[in-house]
Amino acid sequence: MIQRVQTIYLFITFIITGVLTNFIALFTQVNNQLMVLITTIQNNSVLLKSIGVFFVVSALLSLTAIFSFKKRQNQFVLNRLNILINFYLLSVLIYISLKLPGEMQISEKGIGIYFPIVTIVLLVMANKAIKKDENLVKSVDRLR
């Protein structure tokens, strides 16, 4: 059944990782001083490309988990994999934010850097709801 609580959590996760990351900046620029920021981006190009790819993968995993509502164990495993991907995203974003030279003059962290944290919390709540549904189904099967 698609109208369960975990579906709402997974849909919010999809909105955050798939839609909001395209509209809200991970880092914002101040004073139009781009030279140091451009050199930092070129040095970390592999990491920056992986951020976009992993946000898309996270969004697709959330969408896949929404539509695999009949297989609760698969949904649970997909959410666990999505949590690991978001931990990777969080670590890369923290690494890049700490490695930006001249951080006080050039850029400030945008709100988008906190998206993996919110996503991890939502996925954990979805997994708790899936586990609760699984226990409910098992208890009903025992009564039969």
Interval 111-130: pLDDT, tens = 778 899 999 999 999 999 99
pLDDT at residue 92, rounded to an integer: 85
pLDDT at residue 137, rounded to an integer: 85
DSSP 4-73: SHHHHHHHHHHIIIIIIHHHS-SEEE-TT--HHHHHHHHHTHHHHHHHHHHHHHHHHHHHHHHH-TT-HH
Q: Who wins on pLDDT, 66 or 42?
A: 66
Sign of the C-alpha dihedral computed for residues 88, 50, 22 and 4 taken in this order: negative
| φ/ψ of residue 30, rounded to 5 | -125, 140
Residue 126 and residue 13 in contact, taking contact as beta carbons nearer than 8 Å: yes
pLDDT at residue 66, rounded to an integer: 92
Interval 83-96: pLDDT, tens = 999 999 999 888 77
Interval 13-50: pLDDT, tens = 999 998 888 777 666 555 544 334 444 555 556 777 78
pLDDT at residue 38, rounded to an integer: 44
Q: What percent of the chain has pLDDT over 70?
A: 74
Residue 100's pLDDT band (cuts 50, 70, 90)? low
Residue 112 and residue 26 in contact, taking contact as beta carbons nearer than 8 Å: yes
Q: Sketch the domain layout of the chain as residue ranges.
A: 12-133
Residue 109 is classified by DSSP as E
Q: What is the CA radius of gyration of the chain?
A: 19
Can you tell me the distance from the alpha carbon of 2 to that of 7, in angstroms, rounded to the nearest whole number? Answer: 6
Can you tell me the distance from the alpha carbon of 74 to that of 4, in angstroms, rounded to the nearest whole number? Answer: 16
Q: Who wins on pLDDT, 59 or 44?
A: 59
| φ/ψ of residue 104, rounded to 5 | -70, -30
Residue 3 is classified by DSSP as S
